[in-house]
Amino acid sequence: MGKFSFIETGIKDLYVIEPTVFGDSRGYFMETYNDEFRPYIKHLDGSPADFVQDNQSRSKKGVLRGLHFQKTNPQGKLVRCLEGEVFDVAVDLRKDSETFGKWHGVLLSEENKKQFYVPEGFAHGFV
C-alpha cells in the first residue's frame, strides 16, 4: 500500500489526496509529498511536472481567497490546511476540457489532513 490515496473528483487531473497518518501518544507523522505523486502531476500538455515552489498563507476566519489562476506561466498547486479548516474550490478553465467550467470543492482541515491537488489550468480559492 502506498502512503497516499489519490481520490478522483470527476474532473480529469484534479485529486483529493488522503495521506497515511501514523499516530501514537506523542502525536502523529505523515508524508505530505513523495514520488508517488509523479504520475498525477502534469503540465497542460500532459508532460510530467514537478513542484518548484512552496508557499504558505494564513487567513483570518471568513476571509475569501481567490479565485486565482495564472494565464501565463500556469502553476499546479498542492493545498492543505495546517490549522482550523477551509472549504477549497477548483474550477476547470481548460477550454479544451470536457469539464470546462465545472468545479469541485473539498473541506481541508487540521483534523482530516486531506490535501487537494489543483493542476495547471484551474482557478483556485478557499474560504
User: In 3-state terms, what secondary structure has residue 66?
Assistant: strand
Rounded to the nearest 5 percent, the helix, strand and coil shares of the chain are 0, 40, 60
CATH number at residue 27: 2.60.120.10
Q: pTM of this prediction?
A: 0.91
- Per-residue CA distances from 18 to 2, 48, 79, 93, 102 (Å): 11, 21, 12, 25, 22
- Close Cβ partners of 27 (under 8 Å, ≥ 6 residues apart): none
Instruction: Report residues of the chain scoring pLDDT below 70.
Output: 1
Q: How many domains does the chain have?
A: 1
CB 49 within 8 A of CB 117: no
pLDDT digits (tens, 9 = 90+) for 89-110: 999 999 999 999 999 999 999 9
Range of the domain at 118: 4-126
